[in-house]
Structure formats: structure tokens, C-alpha cells
Amino acid sequence: MQSYIAPLAWEYYARNRWKLLLPLIANIPASLVLLPFAGLESAVAVKELVPIQIVLTLSMVLIVGFSVQASQGSLSRFYLKPISTIQLVSFYYWTGALLVATTVATLLALWQWIVPLGFPIAGSVLFAVVCWCSFQPIVRGVLNSLGWILLVFVLLSCLTIWYLQHYGIQLRRGGMMDSSIHEWASLSRADILFACFVITVSFVLTTWRVSQDRCRTEQYDWIFVEKFSQFVERLLGRRSCTQKHFASPSHALRWFDFKHRCSVEPLLVVINSIAMWVSAVLSVIATQNLQYIPSVVASSMSIVAFMQPCIALAIPMISYIGISMRIPQFLESSSSYRTLGIEPYLFRLPVQSKVLAATILRSSSLSSLLGFAVLLTSFTLAGILGQILNTQMAEAMGLKIPYWKFVLISSTVSLIATFAFSLSSIAFIPLVIRSKLWIAPFVILALLLSFKWSIPIAIAGAILIFVLCILVAATIIALMENDVSVVYTLGIWTLGIGLVFLTLKTFPDPPFSIQSLLTIAVIGLAMLPWFSTAATLRKVRSN
Amino acid sequence: MSNLVIDIKNLSRKFGDKQALSDVSVAIPEGGVFGLIGANGAGKTTLIKHLLGSHFAQSGSVSVFGVDPVREPVHVLSKIGYVSEDRDLPGWMKIQEIIDFTKAFYSNWDSTYATELMHLFELKPNQRVGTLSRGQSARICLLLALAHRPRLLILDEPSSGLDTIIRRDILTAIIRTTAEEGRTVLFSSHLLDEVERLADRVAIIHQGRILLQNSLDSLLESFRRVTLRFPDSHHVAPGLEGCLNGRGKEHDWSYVHRGTPADLLQAASFAKAQILEQHPLSLDEIFVACVS
């Protein structure tokens, strides 16, 4: 009898081909965060880098896990083939785990090579594999009851506690900045036993779930969302769908776009902030010392401020990976709409691309501003509480600048970066991919390196020059196509240049450091959507 | 021709190496039902997407209501009701939400008609679009396309997913009523009995080319199946002007003839053949004869 592995492996490869490299490629933007630290020789000793390590590893695990899952697609396509459930699950479960492990290890080794941050490879790989495996029983079947929501939260909480516990998040002063942190550099016997147990149990449960799913003929994917929605409506006391009255097409579009595309980011910031306050309160209960609350909350909020742009970048990235991998036979038009994160239905309505672009910009601004407001409120509350309790916030957080200056800088940079990244799939990525401009940064990099620039500065410089070139080109095109007025253009450019001066003032020494170059590039990216969105939409609308 | 709703001239379109449309010219006057027939992959949807401004004309021109739909999407789309083949509506919305949302874009939205259709199609306002079956999705698409009483209704494979009752009774009634109100319906289908029942004019598209375009009555009149007896025995079908798809053996050969009865008589006498029998063809048979 012919082996089932060969045809399944061939189908998996043929289905994805070069897209199997997407998990690696998708993590490149995150790697740029490490550039400013590339000059540090003993970064392991810099405790402030631990939060960056945590956020980067977690976002990487998320992107890699999702990409591998998306590349495998639904197993239902094999349900009518003469292959047993255990064979089917075995192939996808173990190859998936192997792929996750290999990709995470490769990326961590790469990051470690860029910056010697002391990334713990073995621990993170084990964590990534356990995460991927433990979610298999949930995602490999239909989610048809509210119980699954609870299960997802319980599972996520357990995994988060397990992960953070290895990063010195202990309920005492200093939290992750404590000198006792060991950053999961070595695997304990308990870790290995726990991992083996979870992976084995998950395999059994996945096989059972797939065998259950195989008996069904209907798909209940939406029932999960439906029940969740009903649950929220019950909570809000609204059982029925009330009629909506939109005053104008723009009003309707704003409602649609915010609900469809922009509501997730602020919601995640709110959830993260609440979680941080709850952990701070728990730490107070455990230590019986009220003074720890402000600094623990503020430290945690700085992680949230850093995570917000990562989430903004991850959402379109995940959506792009998911769509690219789930639709092997690329349906030219509708998939190009969807990779932008825009519903194809909008393009069938009698609305100008310019109006649609304005709506998208407005709802993205609103979404970023909401996140900014939550961050600022949380920081401010922590600051006020610190003053009431006589806590020296800057000292407690190990800051070299005053607390309020730190709050303003981190929240503003987070706001700008969140806005820029949330629109990357519409304003930036299509521009680069479609016009084959992705070659340009490499050419610029080669040029800068030929002038004997150091590699990190050359990379940051190449990114900045590339972004500025695209921005100038997009501005000229927008003016020529009458997408923007001269006053509007002057307004955006004045604001952008003002922010650049502020950045140079904030990072004065040396005048063009990696931090300042990358921050200016992010400012450029945040300016880009105001000029390129309408043109991109027009181009995609009529391809 | 005056009052053309759709005027396509020498339209060609390529996707990579594949020639999706080749030198297509179609003119559709205002009012009536126009059926676009073709096998899967013939180019029906690509042609329709050009009318909606979703594709630009690589060569040739497309004019809907006298303007280019790519340049003037608002002008064109505000007068069009469109039901797509893949029914790709936003799955996260509820039926009532998508109705209210779509209503905001059309000044002539008829709320009473929308409610009537919702009852007729047995749609529940609280149901999420993503949970609908294929048939229910087709119904909500129809509702959204019809409720603003468009001047041009474009239906891309409208029967796909609809049950027989909805298809035969409701869809037929809607299409006929729309046409009787002086509006235009363009629908693509591979169900030829449906096209024969509904259309006033038809076009057959095959491999990106328009093979035939005429009023249905003229088309049916101009085709017939004939059986001819030749004085000599033949191994292959003897060539005759206007005759397609020759089948038979020795003296007796059957053809699909395109032309007038006088043309047939002339062709038969020229070949010294005797007409044994002739009978009209259904659209189905005409389509097969044209594309095979």
C-alpha cells in the first residue's frame, strides 16, 4: 500500500510553495526594532531590553503559529479521501509542530545574531510548540458553544503565566526588572515534562475533535461568533437588532470601517490595560505593599505602548498571510481587496475611492487615538497614584528621563507607529509590492554600505531614504490626481516636519542615531496614507 | 442605436497569458432582458466586471449609461443593482445591518419594497450574513440589488444556490416585472432553459468571444435541424453553406442550419440534396452547435 505521507506532503508543498517562507518574512519588520541595540556589546546585561525580548518573542510565536496554521488550511478537504483520521491528524500535527519549532529557532538565532540580547532559544521554541499544539484541539473543529470561549481564555491565561513566570514576573518589587530573572535560558525537567504532557494530550484531543468534525457535513464556523455576539448583546440588554439610520454614505462607511477594521486595536489596548491593573492589584495583595502599584502599572503600560504598534502591524500581516495561504487559486480581484483588509462589497457601492479613503483614514485615526487615550489615562492614573503614595516613578522604573516626559514620548511614538502600521496593508505594502519597489531598499543599502556606513545605521538609513522617496512620489501623484489639495498637503507636511524636529530634539546625541532615523521613518510612514490611500483604492478597484 | 444602456466596443482583456475576452462588442438598448450564455470560464463574469468598473478595458471601450464605469463609478453604480456569482457579502453583518448600510448609498431606496422582499425571501433581520446558506445568500443579494429599483439589474448566475420554487416563480417574476417597468436586466447563466424562458435578447460567449448576438425569437428562427439525402455516398459530412455539425453516414446527413429557409433550399439544391425533414432547435441545441 502506498504511503499516505508522500501525497500529503506533496499537497502541502504544492498548496503553499514559496508562501511557506512567509512566517520568516513576516517577522522582518519586528526585527527592525532590534536595530537601535545592534551597537551594544553586552545587551544581555541591559535589563530594560527584557520587555522588548518578551514582546518580540510573543508576537513572533503568534505570527509563526498563525502562519503555519493558515498554510495547513482546513483538514475537511481530506474528509472524503480514503485516509484515517489518525493518519491525517498525525501528519498535520507533527509537521506543524516541527515547522513552528524550526521557524522560531531560525528567527531567534537570526535575532541573536543581529543583537546579542541573550534570546533564550530552547525555552521559546518549547513554548511556541506547546502553544501551537495546545490550540490544535480548539481550532481543528467547529467552535459551536460558548464553552469554547472560556476554554480559549483559560488556555491563554495558563500559557501566559507559564511564559511570564520564566521571565521573572514575580509578585514583588521590580517585577521583570528584578535581578533574579533568568529569561528561560535553560529548560528544567518540569518544563519538559509539562510540554510532553500537553503535546500528547493535545494530540489525542485533536484526533478526537477531527473525528467528530469528520462526521458532520455542515460548517458551523459562525455559530461561535454568533453565540459570542448574542452573549454580548445579552450583557448589554439588547436582544434584537435595531434599525440603523445613517445620515449619509460617509456616515455609513465610517460605521462599517470602524466596526470591521478598526475596533480590534483599541479593544486589545483596553483589555491589556485592565489586565495590567489587575496584576498590579494582585501583586499588592501578595506583597501587602501599596507602593508597588504605580511603578508596576507604569512598567506594564510601557510594554502595552510597545505592543500596540506590534498589534497594529500583526493584524494586517496575519490577515495577509491567512488570505495568501488559504486561497491557493488566487481570485484576482476579490483577494486583492481582501489583502488590503477591505470588504469587496464596498467597491460595488456607488462611492468614490476618495471618499472611501477619507473614511479609512478617519477610522484608523480614531482607532489609534482611542488606544493613545487609554494609554495616557493609564499612565496618568499611575503617575497620580505615585504622587499620592510618594513613589519616585522614574527611579522605580529605572528611567533616565523624568516620568512625564517618558509618558509623553512613549505614548506619542506608540500613537504614530500604531497609525502608520495599521494602514500599512493599504498605504504601503501594495505600493511596494505592485510596483516592484521592494528592490529599492536593498540598492540604497548597498550604496550606503559602500560609503562605509555601519550595517545597523545603513539599514536604518536605507529604510528612511526609501520611505521618504515613496512619500514624495505619493504626494506628487496625489496632487496630480487631485486626491488632496495644496493646503492639505502643506498641513500634513508641516505636521510631519514638526514631528521630525521634535524627534531630533528628543534623541539629540548623536544627531542621526538609529533611534532617530527609524522614528523619522515611522513618521514618514504615518504621513504616507494621507496621500497614497485614495490612489491604492482606485488602482485596486479597477484592476 | 439610440438609448443604449451598455455599449461595449472591441473589448479585449488578458490575465497573464490567458485571453479572457477577445474583441467583444455588445450593445444593449434600454428595457428588456438580455441573457448572456456561456460555459464556465467563457468570460461572462469578466465581461460583467468591466461593466461595473472592476476591470479596466485593456483595449476597446466600455460605456454604461453613456459613461466609462472606471472613470465614473458613482454615476454608474448608483443605477446598477448587481448580484455577484460568489455572493461575497460581509459575513460579520446582520441582515438588517447590511440593509440599513446599503440603503445609505441609494437616494431612491424603497424601504417598503425591501421589507416586502425580506418577507418574500423569508429572511430574518437578526441573522448574521456569514451563517446564511448559499440559497439565503442569493436571496439577500437579490434584495440588496433590487430595493433601490435600479435602471440596470445585473445578475451573474442568479439561479446558483436558489431552489426551484424561488428560481421558477420569484426570480422569473422579478426579472419580468423589472423589464416591464422599462428597466434593463442583464443576466448570465449556463442554464439555457432559464434564458430561453426569460430573455428577449441573447448573446453566446465562448472562450472570450461573442459567437452570436440577437433577439431570442430571431435566433430561434434562424436555426433548425435538417436531414438531407445526397445522391452520392459520403464518408465525411459534405460541406454545405450555413450548415454546422454534420452527422450521419453514406447518403443521409443531419445538420444544424443557420439562415433562412430560402437559404437552406438554395444550399440543398446546390448540393443536389433532398431535404428529408427539418425542425426548430431549442436554445440548448443552438448553444451546443455553436460551441462544439
pLDDT at residue A236 tops 60: no
Q: Which of A246, A255, A350 sits opposite B74 (nearest CB)?
A: A350
Average pLDDT of the residues of chain A: 78
Residue A259: list chain B partners with CB under 8 A.
Answer: 92
Q: What residue spans of A173-243 are helical by DSSP H?
A: 189-215, 221-236
Residue B91: list chain A partners with CB under 8 A.
Answer: 222
Lowest mean pLDDT among A50-64, A142-156, A432-446: A142-156
pLDDT at residue A327 tops 50: no
Separation of alpha carbons B52 and B71, rounded Å = 11
**Residue B93, phi then psi, degrees to nearest 5:** -85, 155
Q: How confident is the model at residue A433 (pLDDT cuts 50, 70, 90)?
A: low
**Residue A166, phi then psi, degrees to nearest 5:** -80, -5
> Could you report the per-residue pLDDT of B101-134, keeping only the tens digit for each?
999 999 889 889 899 888 888 888 888 887 788 7
Q: How far is A543 from chain B (nearest CA, A)?
A: 5
Rg of chain A (C-alpha set) = 24
pLDDT at residue A217 tops 50: no
Residue A249: list chain B partners with CB under 8 A.
Answer: 104-105
> Could you report the per-residue pLDDT of A281-312, keeping only the tens digit for each?
777 776 677 777 787 788 778 878 887 887 78
pLDDT at residue A89 tops 90: yes
Find the closest chain A residue to B90 by CA distance: A343
Q: What is the pLDDT of residue A331?
A: 37
| Torsion (CA) A285, A289, A295, A297 in degrees, nearest 10 | 20
Q: How far is A249 from chain B (nearest CA, A)?
A: 5
* Distances in whole angstroms, Cα of residue A390 to Cα of each of A233, A354, A382, B14: 43, 52, 12, 72
Q: How confident is the model at residue B198 (pLDDT cuts 50, 70, 90)?
A: confident
- Best interface-test mutation with A: which of B105, B109, B154 has the largest number of A CBs within 10 A? B105
Is A338 in CB contact (< 8 Å) with chain B?
no
Q: Which of A242, A333, A351 sits opposite B54 (nearest CB)?
A: A333
Separation of alpha carbons A76 and A312, rounded Å = 31
Asked whether the beta carbons of residue B102 and residue A344 sit closer than 8 angstroms, the reply is: no
> Could you report the per-residue pLDDT of B138-158, keeping only the tens digit for each?
888 889 988 998 999 998 887
Parallel/antiparallel/unpaired status of strands B274-280 and B243-258: unpaired
Q: What percentage of chain A exceeds 90 in pLDDT?
A: 13
Separation of alpha carbons A285 and A288, rounded Å = 5
Burial environment of residue B115 by CB neighbours within 10 A (0 to 12, 13 to 18, 19 or more): middle
Q: How far is A413 from chain B (nearest CA, A)?
A: 32
pLDDT at residue A332 tops 50: no
A to B CB pairs, distance under 8 Å? 93
pLDDT at residue A218 tops 50: no
Residue B55: list chain A partners with CB under 8 A.
Answer: 333, 542-543
- Name B42's Cβ contacts closer than 8 Å, sequence gap at least 6: B205, B206, B207, B208
Name the helix (H) or strand (E) containing B203: strand B201-206
Asked whether the beta carbons of residue A351 and residue B74 sit closer than 8 angstroms, the reply is: yes
pLDDT at residue A510 tops 70: no
Q: What is the pLDDT of residue A49?
A: 66
Is A17 in CB contact (< 8 Å) with chain B?
no
Q: What is the pLDDT of residue B267?
A: 81
What are the beta bridge partners of residue B82?
A: B154
| Dihedral sign computed on CA atoms, order A398, A403, A405, A410 | positive
Lowest mean pLDDT among A136-150, A180-194, B248-262: A136-150
Lowest mean pLDDT among A151-165, B5-19, B122-136: A151-165
Lowest mean pLDDT among A105-119, A176-190, A194-208, B233-247: A176-190
Q: What is the pLDDT of residue A146?
A: 58
Asked whether the beta carbons of residue A350 and residue B131 sit closer than 8 angstroms, the reply is: no
Residue B74: list chain A partners with CB under 8 A.
Answer: 350-352
Find the closest chain A residue to B100 by CA distance: A244
Asked whether the beta carbons of residue B101 and residue A246 sit closer than 8 angstroms, the reply is: yes
Is A231 in CB contact (< 8 Å) with chain B?
no
Closest to A129 (Cα-Cα) out of A165, A162, A80, A168: A162
Closest to B79 (Cα-Cα) out of B65, B98, B99, B100: B65
Q: How confident is the model at residue A92 (pLDDT cuts 50, 70, 90)?
A: very high
Q: What is the pLDDT of residue A223?
A: 55
Q: How confident is the model at residue A97 (pLDDT cuts 50, 70, 90)?
A: very high
Q: Which three cell numbers stand for residue B287?
A: 448553444
Asked whether the beta carbons of residue A241 and residue B94 sit closer than 8 angstroms, the reply is: yes
Q: What is the pLDDT of residue A345?
A: 86
**Which A residues in the span 201-230 are in contact with B, Cβ-Cβ below 8 Å?**
221-223, 225-226, 229
pLDDT at residue A326 tops 60: no
Asked whether the beta carbons of residue A243 and residue B56 sit closer than 8 angstroms, the reply is: no
Asked whether the beta carbons of residue A351 and residue B82 sit closer than 8 angstroms, the reply is: no
Q: How confident is the model at residue A130 (pLDDT cuts 50, 70, 90)?
A: very high
Higher pLDDT: B113 or B245? It is B113
Higher pLDDT: A486 or A463? It is A486
B212: Cα separation from own chain's centroid: 12
Q: What is the mean pLDDT of residues A142-158?
A: 67
Q: What is the mean pLDDT of residues A113-117?
A: 74
Asked whether the beta carbons of residue A241 and residue B89 sit closer than 8 angstroms, the reply is: no
DSSP assignment, residue A425?
A: I
Lowest mean pLDDT among B50-54, B164-168, B215-219, B228-232: B164-168
> Could you report the per-residue pLDDT of B55-94, keeping only the tens digit for each?
888 888 899 998 998 888 888 999 999 988 777 788 888 8
Q: What is the pLDDT of residue A149?
A: 63
- Best interface-test mutation with B: which of A225, A233, A241, A355 has the largest number of B CBs within 10 A? A241
Residue B97: list chain A partners with CB under 8 A.
Answer: 241, 244
* Distances in whole angstroms, Cα of residue A149 to Cα of each of A137, A225, A272, B126: 13, 10, 18, 22
Q: What is the pLDDT of residue A321?
A: 61
> Could you report the per-residue pLDDT of B255-280, keeping only the tens digit for each?
888 888 888 888 878 878 888 888 88
Strand order across the beta sheet in which B80-83 lies? B80-83, B152-156, B184-189, B32-37, B201-206, B209-215
Average pLDDT of the residues of chain B: 84
> Could you report the per-residue pLDDT of A35-64, keeping only the tens digit for each?
666 665 555 555 566 667 777 788 888 888
Asked whether the beta carbons of residue B78 and residue A350 sit closer than 8 angstroms, the reply is: yes
Q: Which of A229, A242, A246 sits opposite B104 (nearest CB)?
A: A246
Q: What share of chain A is helix, strand, coil (3-state, %, to 5)?
A: 80, 0, 20
Higher pLDDT: B28 or B177? It is B28
Q: What is the pLDDT of residue B19?
A: 85
Find the closest chain B residue to A245 by CA distance: B100
What are the beta bridge partners of residue B257?
A: B224, B243
Task: Please give the model's pTM, rounded to 2 decimal places.
Answer: 0.75
Is B58 in CB contact (< 8 Å) with chain A?
no
Q: Which residue has the cell 445522391?
A: B231
Q: What is the pLDDT of residue A197?
A: 92
Q: What percentage of chain B exceeds 70 in pLDDT?
A: 98
Q: What is the mean pLDDT of residues B207-212?
A: 87
Q: What is the pLDDT of residue A128?
A: 92
CB atoms inside a 10 Å sphere around CB A386: 22
Residue A244: list chain B partners with CB under 8 A.
Answer: 96-97, 100-101
Q: What percentage of chain A exceeds 70 in pLDDT?
A: 77
Q: How far is B163 from chain A (nearest CA, A)?
A: 18
> Could you report the per-residue pLDDT of A360-417, keeping only the tens digit for each?
899 889 988 998 999 899 889 988 988 888 877 777 777 778 888 888 888 888 899 9
Q: CA-based angle A406:A407:A409, to the nearest 5?
A: 65
